[in-house]
Amino acid sequence: MPADEKNVDSTTHPDLFMEKHRPQLHFSSPTNWLNDPNGLVWHNGVFHLFYQYNPTGNTWGNMHWGHAVSRNLFDWDVRPIALYAQPWGVGFMFSGCAVVDQDNSAGLAQPGDTPLVAIYTNCTTEGIQAQSIAYSADQGETWTQYEGNPVLANPGIRDFRDPKVFWHAPSVSWVMTLAVHDHVEFYTSKNLRDWRQSFRFARPGGSEAGGVWECPDLFALRAPNGETKWILVVSVSPENSSRDESIQYFVGDFDGVRFEPQHLRNLWLDHGADNYAAVSWEGIPAGDGRRIIIGWMNSWRYAKEVPTYPWSGHMTLPRELALVNGQDGYELATVPAREIEQLRVRTIDIPMAPAGSSKHEKLLGAVLPELLDIELQFAWKKGQARAFSVSFENQAGEKAIISVDIDANLLIVDRTSVGQRVPNPKLAGRFSAPLHSLGELLDLRIVKDRASVEVFADQGRSVISANLFFDSPFDRVVVFGEGEVDAGGRASILRSIWHDRQPG
């Protein structure tokens, strides 16, 4: 496929997006390798999604920036490559961000123009990482490299990457968070070209999970009591960790220079294995008021061995973030971006009844379990129920089981029987997320794509994301309760973002 292909869809390329495990709700590149989301910015009504991309192969390497745009976060148009690798120049285009330079502070645009500026890590063929910038005056369609690159040279550190930049109005400065081995460094600038280090943040003793920190993101959210709090998100490399979780976050205060967390207790954005390098969109209008985040739905433990072709890698659902009251401070809750409702083709009401009753069996038996948004509420009387579950099953005996252990206060996703023909045993797994103290009621939301589930429980306080590289397609949905458990809600059948796109 030509690298500059525009508006790729299934009508132009009928063989693409039809593959066995190809996601139908999540963004993936038409062909070739994809990993970290980059340059997330909203501008003039358009969400821009850039991403780490290898235009010449289905494995990591030869990093460019791919580019896609959307007005609703789900229907994506693939645009030309944005940033090209320069092996004999600054090097390869690693992860970074993009901002709208509203006042042309960098002096890169013509008078009257408002450029997009990408701030990214360039990595030379020798592996030296530094920070560079590029700019676009045509809504991100074409990009020009700044002649003075790099704007932040490497100080002699191996891991020195993944800048995320935003405008901090109170200090009248651009602020950059940068991943530096096992900590985050903060830099400030007035013009996006000259940067000064201002602060260093690290857990005492280094990263809790024992890995390299990557893809930091710092942003503000309104707390339940109305105060403004700041959230620092970091992805922790899973290579030296026994944990499944890899996206850690801290809630605290930021004054333009220093970030002070409310505590250093371990807080995880997602308790599944398949969410990494999550960062949020900049520039969403204040009238919208949302902070929306997206991650790479994969794991470095097996990303190079997933059974997909001619593409490799896709993104999570876009998710809305909110602060909620937690165990000993504020915590994050995440739910699918509300735009997913535009994908609903038909919604089936599921009346409250004993879990697994004939009513449920009849209603769900008519649903093809491929593209679904299931919202259920479970109710029980204390001491009269132990567990309940929703499972996706097929004739080959594979089961993806989403369950709740009431006694242990755990949400569980079990994919150990799925994809047994895949050679890497790490693709099997059983993942659990703590729930708040269960009373006698729990909401459970499951977004089921062709080969994945994203599970949101307790109003988004507990989240698990898991790919499902099945041997045979799932053909039924089963609800089950151990003890006296009632369940009810609705199941929405969703359209494909590639094959059933709406006009306009």
- Give me the active site residues, please: 36
Q: Residue 348 is which amino acid?
A: I
What does the alpha-carbon distance between residue 273 and residue 415 come to, in Å, rounded to a whole number?
11
In this structure, the strands spanning 32-43 and 311-312 are parallel
* Separation of CA 83 from chain center: 21
What does the alpha-carbon distance between residue 175 and residue 255 come to, in Å, rounded to a whole number?
11
Cα–Cα distance list, 178 to 16, 34, 121, 147, 277 (Å): 37, 22, 10, 22, 13
Query: Tokens 């089921």 identify what position?
Result: 448
Q: How many Cα neighbours within 13 Å face the side chain of 391?
A: 20
* Rg value, the chain, Cα: 22
CA dihedral sign, ordered 66, 69, 70, 75: negative
CA dihedral sign, ordered 198, 202, 206, 208: negative
Query: Tokens 């090209």 identify what position?
Result: 84
Cα–Cα distance list, 274 to 85, 143, 238, 371, 445 (Å): 27, 31, 11, 18, 17
Comparing C-alpha atoms, which of 82, 51, 48 is closest to residue 281? 48
Cα–Cα distance list, 353 to 279, 364, 368, 435, 447 (Å): 40, 13, 21, 23, 22
Query: Tokens 């220093």 identify what position?
Result: 258
What does the alpha-carbon distance between residue 328 and residue 69 come to, in Å, rounded to a whole number?
39
